[in-house]
Every structure is written in structure tokens, then in C-alpha cells.
Amino acid sequence: MKIANTIRNGALAAMACLLLAAPLCAQVSSYGDKEQGVNHGDELPTVLKRTTVEQHLNRPLPLDAQFVDETGKQVRLGDYFGSHKPAVLALVYYNCKMLCSEELDGLVQALVMVHLDAGKDFNVIVASIDTSDTPAMSAKKKATYVRRYDREGSASGWHFLTSPNQASIDALTQATGFNYVRVPGPDGKLDQFAHASAIQLVTADGKIAQYYMGVEYSPKDMLLGLIEASGNKIGSPVANILTYCYHYDPEANSHSLIVARVVQLGGMVTIAGLGGFLFVMFRKDLKLGRDHSLTRHDNDNG
């Protein structure tokens, strides 16, 4: 009984240590997480409270808005609609150091598993929210993601747009409910953006049909969404579980990684301590068991 009780007590102590260590792990920020403005506990930093995504289902896009494609050609947003093809729309900026690339990576990973072809069955429209982005940057991004998509003849279905005209960008972001805020970079210049990650499916006639939040997207949902959008059907609102990008600072990122490693090291020390504790307890249990057996043996012989 003593042995069983000791083991049970040791296990309970181990569980208690793990529960105490769990909040420490939960406090580790992801790579690139930063604060700007006041942040109390689990509240969003002040700046992020303005970077929402409002779901404007069934709202038409500004099809007359002027943009420039990756070849430098002037285009209208409406040039990509009216041909019975729905579209996937992503709003990013090409100098984004963190989330935008993850968003596009997640998009192409999902589309690779969708049994429809960009160019033939739907279009992909990636529009920059930064007026300083250029067609050369668009062309470089397009080459990267067309190569990753790796479908023959699909390049005609990928469109990477920029605009030096803030009014065109504003018209598109307002239609999609994509709210963002300019924030300073490491050099203090307002050349970066706080924003959330979301993509939209747009019907063949240019109306917003569905929102997908975050940076990972279900291929099954994407397939069904594209099929419905091709028939000009509008989907339903989804939960606003947002992933944010803001204030990239290389020095602060290095500090974040160091903090994460320190906490991870603390976790390893905790695990090692628990292992040592259990080992000592079992050794003690075995010794007590042997002593108890010897005492009983001596008493029986006496």
C-alpha cells in the first residue's frame, strides 16, 4: 500500500508541475509577434483593433477600379470577370516580411489539391494595398507562385496587381471590408501595414461570395466554394478567427526567438526534473519494499 500511495503521490505531483508549467508555454509569442500601442493581458494591441475584416457578402467589387498587372499593362478589375469564371482574391503587399507570404503559400497549397485549374476554371487575383509596389515586384511574385502551383498553362489564370492610385486601392479594400493601418518599419518610415489575413471567393459577375480567414485553407471548402461562386451563389459568414501581421522589426524578432528558446529550455529542465523526481521516488519505493520484506522475513524466523 505504501508503495502504491507513494507512486500515486508522485504522479499527482508530476501532473501538478506540468499544469504549473503550461501557462509559461502559453505565454510564448509566435515568431514575429509584436506590440504597438497599449496591450493588457489577452487584449489586442490598440493598432490591431482597427485591422478588422468585415464580411461584405454579396457586395460587388469596384470593377472600374484601375490597376497595373505584372507586365505593366493598365487593367480594370472588371477585366477578370464576366467570363463565367469565379476568382480567388487576396489583398497583400509585396514587401510584407511575414504574413502575406504565408497567406499566399497557404493559398497555393490548397489550390494544388483542388481539382480545378487556374486559368481554365477560375482566376487568382492578388492585389497590393501598397501604392509603392511595382509591376516588377508583381512579376517576381507571380513567377514564384505559378512555379509552385505547377499546372501547365495556368500562368494566364494568375494576376498580380499594383496601383499607384490610392483611390483604386481604397475602393477595393472598402468593398471587401479589409481594414488596415500603416505602421512604421525598423527605420521609422510608415512603409509597413498592420492587417489581418483573409482571402475571398468572388462570383463570376464580381460579387463577394465567401471569406476564408487565416493562412491555411481547406481544399475541400475551396473546391465547393469555387463551384458555387461559378454559379453566382453567395455563401455564409464564417467565424472571424484572424491572423495578424504588423510592425516587422528584425532586432525585436531576434529577441522573441531568444525568449522562446529560454522558455523551451525551462520546459526541458522541468521535464528533466520530473524525470529525476520519479526516478528517486521509484528507487525509494523499491528500497522500502526490500526493507519491508526483510523485516517480515526476520519476524517470521524469530
**pLDDT tens-digit readout, 131-164:** 999 999 999 999 999 999 999 999 999 999 999 9
Instruction: Determine the pLDDT at residue 290.
Output: 58
Averaged pLDDT score across all residues of the chain = 76
pLDDT in tens, 95-113: 887 778 889 999 999 999 9
Q: Is the pLDDT of residue 255 over 70?
A: no
pLDDT in tens, 169-198: 999 999 999 998 888 777 777 778 888 889
Q: For 76-97, what is the mean pLDDT?
A: 93
Listed by start position, the domains of the chain span 2-33+252-301, 46-248
Instruction: Grade residue 274 by pLDDT with cuts at 50, 70 and 90.
Output: low
Q: For 272-287, what is the mean pLDDT?
A: 61
Q: Is the pLDDT of residue 91 over 60?
A: yes
Of the candidate ranges 11-20, 88-97, 143-152, the one whose mean pLDDT is the lowest = 11-20
pLDDT in tens, 222-243: 999 999 999 999 999 887 655 4
Q: For 27-43, what is the mean pLDDT?
A: 38
Q: Is the pLDDT of residue 246 over 60?
A: no
3-state SS record for the chain: CHHHHHHHHHHHHHHHHHHHHHHHHHCCCCCCCCCCCCCCCCCCCHHHHHCCECCCCCCECCCCCEEECCCCCEEEHHHHCCCCCCEEEEEECCCCCCHHHHHHHHHHHHHHCCCCCECCCEEEEEEECCCCCCHHHHHHHHHHHHHHHCCCCCHHHEEEEECCCHHHHHHHHHHHCECCEEECCCCCCCCEEEEECEEEEECCCCEEEEEEECCCCCHHHHHHHHHHHHCCCCCCCCCCCCCEECCCCHHHHHHHHHHHHHHHHHHHHHHHHHHHHHHHHHHHHHHHHHHHHHHHHHHHHC
CATH architecture of 46-248: 3-Layer(aba) Sandwich (3.40)
In the chain, % of residues over pLDDT 70: 63
- Could you tell me the pTM of the whole model? 0.68
